[in-house]
Chain A
Amino acid sequence: MNLNFLLDSGLLGLEYAMLALGVYITFRILNIPDLTVDGSFTFGLAVSAVFAAGGHPFLGLLMALLAGAVAGCVTGLLQTRWGIHPILAGILTMSGLYTINITVMGSPNISLINSNKFFTFLEDALTKDGARYLTVGVIVLLCVGLLALFFKTSLGLCIRATGNNEAMVRASSINPNFTKMVALALSNGLVALSGGVLAQCQGYADINSGSGMIVIGLASVIIGEVFFGRRSILLCLISAVVGSVVYRIIIALALQLDLFDANALKLISAVIVAVTLAVPAFKTRFQNWRTRREAGKHA
């Protein structure tokens, strides 16, 4: 068995790490599963590819981040100002983004084979893989570091409280609509950055790359929690990154061993997420069942 696939999937995991971080922010901190993700991931992918094709790979990443943040703000406005249910707000933005994305790309896919990417400048010194590992690693570290710092500020604390007790945020004289907007912008910015990084790393962008991203993000967050639990914010951020890498390795391993067909990926991911989220419910049920059985014995 060739173990190179481990390195490859590790890199892929890092590319998707920002997706996991973004999903962590909405799903665990804000307590809203935000479905904008599928759309904003592709938005970032499209914007980054178009800029890279035009000779601006770094600007492409920055613009991807901003594009995602704007998408997040749209979902935020729909939720807070227009009073639309958070899940539906995400679906609406995601759905609308399809048109935007295809307009940005101009065609269903863009190839970047001959364009400079954000890691190209290191390729001569480090080989292609080395350059990608280093640059993506730095991006992930920056994201985790900056997020950890951000969540220690007053605004960061207010965002964490928003998902916990909105009334209390208001009582601290902060508008929870504002904190929700910031969190959604941040989250979708990260998700889009992930899409942007991925597009340049794989050398092409495809309009359908975003579908199912929310499930992959959730799976990464949940897998990370298996290793780290839910303690400090910094650990949670690191755990999302690790979760993303482990998820990729699990998938690659399973494909390598011919456990299932590549087409089954989405189904398997969905099952992983569903089962993990069901664990608390199953636990309670099992405990109730045991209590009843014990009671029956003594009757």
Chain B
Amino acid sequence: MLKITDLHKTFLKGTPNAHHALRGINLTLNDGDFVTVIGSNGAGKSTLFNAIAGSFLCDSGSIVLDGQDITFVKEHRRAKQISRMFQDPMLGTAPDLTIQENMALAYSKSVKGMLSWALSKQDAQLFRETLAQLNMGIEDRMKTKMGQLSGGQRQAVALMMATLVTPRLLLLDEHTAALDPVTAEKVLDITRDVVAKHSITTMMITHNIASALSMGNRTIMMEQGQIVLDLSGPERDNLDVSGLLELYRQRCNRELDNDRMLLNHDN
């Protein structure tokens, strides 16, 4: 459903600071794939997500989603099919709007017209029911300003917002990295449930190798703007954290002559 072909991106092209951040990415996702993405800092993971979501245009290569070439489609248009979440809970929600207004904003992606009411009684009920699934009691605070929620609560709501209108592709960029371990685990559980429930094709960046292996059906590893490892099936099932770290060490030494290893957090 997603097909990326030979994608290249150089930042600050033509200046001494030019940085070749994506170096020929080839990636094909199947419907319902849940891919975890790992790699050291600066490997280009977020850049790949930005490229898919359309934050910038790439220098060459193509991105095809559901048979439609979106290489040059504007970011807000791609957002109809692609939902994203970021590490920073502040980025995904509007702090001065109420929780239900935030949900309404995410819901405006559905076919509603621009001049229809943002928050009908039915909508409000739907939003309550959606948030009730979190079991965090947020559904009783629908008129609270978003900014008054804790980071974990905001991230949980942001996840429900990202999936309120089921996206074709969900991009999660370290969406639990700013949370304490218990809350992070909870948000990961919710992620697992929501993704499974609507069988959403998902890519999730994480620095936590254990969850990279335990979640989803496929793991890719990035290094210096390239995908250096693509694991799925039995090969992935039989791998544990130390096995993956070893594999990474081998790959990067042999192919990239580079042992800059920052794959920590393997708790």
Contacts and interface: CB of A to CB of B under 8 A. Distances in A.
> Does chain A bind chain B?
yes
Interface of A: 152-158, 160-161, 164-165, 167-176
B74 A175 contact: yes
A156 B74 CA distance: 22
Interface string B63-107: 000000000001111011001100000111111110001001110
Interface residues of B, number: 31
B119 interface: yes
B76 A174 contact: yes
Given A154-B114, A161-B97, A174 B108 contact: yes
Contacts of A170: 75-76, 79
Nearest to B115: A153
B23 interface: no
B265 interface: no
B210 interface: no
Contacts of A171: 79, 83-84, 92, 106, 162
B178 interface: no
Contact of A173 (B79, B91, B113, B116): B79
Nearest to B83: A171
30 contacts: A152-B118, A153-B114, A154-B104, A154-B112, A154-B113, A154-B115, A154-B117, A155-B114, A157-B104, A157-B118, A158-B105, A160-B96, A160-B97, A161-B94, A161-B101, A161-B105, A164-B94, A164-B95, A164-B96, A168-B92, A168-B93, A169-B105, A170-B76, A171-B162, A172-B105, A172-B108, A173-B77, A173-B109, A174-B108, A175-B76
Contacts of B118: 152-154, 156-157
Nearest to A165: B94
In the complex, which of the residues A161, A173, A176 has the most CB atoms of chain B within 10 Å of its own CB atom? A173
Nearest to A163: B96
A153 B117 contact: yes
Given A157-B101, A172-B79, A165 B108 contact: no
Nearest to A170: B76
Contacts of B162: 171
B74 A157 contact: no
Contacts of A152: 117-119
A166 to B, nearest CB: 10
Interface string B40-61: 0000000000000000000000
Nearest to A149: B117
Nearest to B109: A173
Contact of B91 (A153, A154, A165): A165
A154 B108 contact: yes
A169 B104 CA distance: 11
Contacts of B106: 171-172
Nearest to A177: B76
Contacts of B75: 170
Contacts of A156: 118
Contacts of B109: 172-173
A167 B75 CA distance: 10
In the complex, which of the residues B77, B79, B94, B97 has the most CB atoms of chain A within 10 Å of its own CB atom? B94
Contact of A167 (B80, B91, B112): B91
Given A161-B101, A161-B105, 14 more contacts: A152-B118, A152-B119, A154-B113, A158-B114, A165-B90, A165-B95, A168-B92, A169-B76, A169-B105, A171-B92, A171-B106, A173-B76, A174-B108, A176-B76
Contacts of B108: 154, 157-158, 172, 174
In the complex, which of the residues A170, A172, A176 has the most CB atoms of chain B within 10 Å of its own CB atom? A172
A174 B77 CA distance: 8
A169 B84 CA distance: 12
A170 B172 CA distance: 16
Contacts of A169: 76, 105
Nearest to A167: B91
B154 to A, nearest CB: 12
B51 to A, nearest CB: 15
Contacts of A167: 91
Contacts of B94: 160-161, 164-165, 168
